[in-house]
């Protein structure tokens, strides 16, 4: 019996289905378990490790900050917070926009919806079926039906419309505060928006006097081959939310508000004890500066191209998504193939669509790792994993 597994099972609520090992360390695209076995991490700790594991730039910034000031609240000014906010505004190319810091993706979406409700004086939020926005009350209310099952009383003010249906969105937006959308629906299986959909949503929001909120928690910060999904599709939302890769694994979330929205937020309306703390902010600034300096969205686009041009097999029906948020759509269940990949030392993700293998690797992943995946995948197919 493995001690770590048994202890965790004994003391931690059983809310997750887990891989049967405890990870001990990570470096770049690789992680090692307690038995010393090495895995190629193409799941990226759930899209968090954009710079790979333990990026030295972030580790150094954390070490420096932890020795200077580990924490103080938002009651005082902080150079680290100022630098993190400036880094996010500059990364996104959103001069004049302003940031609210929090601790997670759910909290970022929660606060974005709250801003929209405060600014418009309206309650209704429109969201797309199949989206995932987090587990807190308002965020889960806006999330797809699967995650709301068994949670009565949620979401009286939320209307769901089909992803990709701009007409349904326009109708639902009447009297709404905002449309909250994952521009590429990751958990759904890397579902991409149909051409013109995001621009039509933007126009519909303008007509209805509602705000457009992009949940860029997975799609942002270079993952989709551009700095954000909004930029990739040429659409500028009023509010964008970020988390996951934002601080390379130190818990952090952020809402970025365009100037016309930002100027309507007043002291006392939002708050968080830990949001904007010096440690998280040091990690945020180091993460964003490193992604920028290395222009890692360009590598994401190049690796997507490599995958699209070299992954061919009759069992592989389609490749969904963009950049390094990809869904490999199989002709049968993905689960046995994921198990076969794990046996060959590769961590990848599943999705709500059971035929999809989701790839969310570090943006630093290179051709050798992609070739390793290709060989393991073909090998898994050849071994008969999940033949329909």
Ligand X SMILES: Cc1ncc(COP(=O)(O)O)c(C=O)c1O
- Which of 104/364 has CB closer to ligand X? 104
d(CA 135, CA 149): 12
CB 296 within 8 A of CB 222: yes
- Which of 68/146 has CB closer to ligand X? 146
- Nearest residue to 113 (alpha-carbon basis) of 87, 88, 136, 145: 136
Least distance from ligand X to the Cβ atom of residue 362, Å: 17
Q: Would you tell me which residues interact with ligand X (CB under 6 A)?
A: 104-106, 109, 132-134, 182, 186-187, 215, 217-218, 243
Q: Is 215 a catalytic residue?
A: yes
Catalytic hit among 132, 179, 214, 242: 132
d(CA 287, CA 56): 10
Residue closest to ligand X (Cβ) = 105
Q: Is 132 a catalytic residue?
A: yes
Least distance from ligand X to the Cβ atom of residue 286, Å: 19
- Which of 134/315 has CB closer to ligand X? 134
Least distance from ligand X to the Cβ atom of residue 45, Å: 11
Catalytic hit among 101, 215, 242, 353: 215
- Residue 40 bridge partners (DSSP): 30, 346
- Which of 252/338 has CB closer to ligand X? 252
User: Cα-Cα-Cα-Cα dihedral of 168, 174, 177, 180, to 10°?
Assistant: 10
- Which of 105/323 has CB closer to ligand X? 105
Least distance from ligand X to the Cβ atom of residue 110, Å: 9
Least distance from ligand X to the Cβ atom of residue 352, Å: 11
Q: Which residues are catalytic, by number?
A: 132, 215, 244
């Amino acid at each position: 019996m493995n001690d770590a597994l048994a202890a965790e099972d004994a003391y931690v609520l059983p809310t997750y289905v887990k891989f049967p090992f405890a990870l001990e360390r990570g470096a770049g695209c690789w992680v090692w378990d307690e038995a010393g076995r090495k895995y190629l991490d193409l799941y990226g700790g759930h899209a968090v490790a954009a710079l790979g594991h333990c990026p030295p730039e972030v580790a150094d910034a954390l070490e420096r900050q932890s020795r200077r000031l580990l924490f103080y609240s938002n009651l005082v000014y902080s150079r680290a917070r100022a630098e993190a906010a400036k880094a996010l505004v500059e990364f996104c190319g959103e001069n004049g926009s302003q940031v609210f810091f929090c601790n997670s993706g759910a909290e970022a979406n929660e606060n974005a919806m709250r801003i929209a409700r405060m600014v418009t004086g309206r309650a209704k939020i429109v969201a797309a079926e199949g989206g995932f926005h987090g587990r807190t009350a308002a965020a889960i209310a806006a999330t797809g039906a699967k995650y709301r099952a068994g949670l009565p009383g949620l979401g009286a003010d939320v209307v769901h419309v089909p992803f990709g249906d701009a007409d349904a969105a326009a109708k639902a937006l009447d009297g709404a505060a905002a449309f909250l959308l994952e521009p590429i629906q990751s958990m759904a299986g890397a579902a991409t928006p149909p051409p013109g959909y995001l621009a039509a949503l933007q126009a519909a929001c303008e007509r209805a006097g509602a705000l457009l909120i992009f949940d860029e928690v997975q799609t942002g910060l270079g993952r989709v081959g551009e700095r954000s999904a909004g930029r990739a599709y040429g659409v500028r939302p009023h509010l964008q939310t970020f988390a996951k890769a934002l601080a390379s694994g130190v818990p952090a979330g952020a809402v970025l508000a365009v100037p016309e929205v930002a100027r309507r937020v007043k002291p006392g309306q939002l708050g968080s004890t830990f949001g904007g703390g010096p440690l998280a902010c040091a990690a945020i600034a180091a993460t964003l500066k490193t992604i920028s300096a290395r222009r890692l969205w360009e590598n994401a686009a190049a690796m997507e191209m490599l995958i699209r041009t070299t992954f061919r097999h009759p069992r592989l029906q389609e490749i969904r998504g963009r950049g390094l948020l990809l869904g490999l759509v199989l002709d049968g269940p993905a689960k046995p193939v994921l198990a076969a990949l794990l046996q060959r030392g590769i961590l990848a993700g599943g999705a709500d669509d059971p035929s999809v293998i989701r790839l969310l690797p570090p943006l630093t992943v290179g051709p050798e790792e992609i070739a390793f995946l290709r060989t393991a995948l073909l090998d898994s197919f050849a071994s008969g994993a999940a033949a329909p």
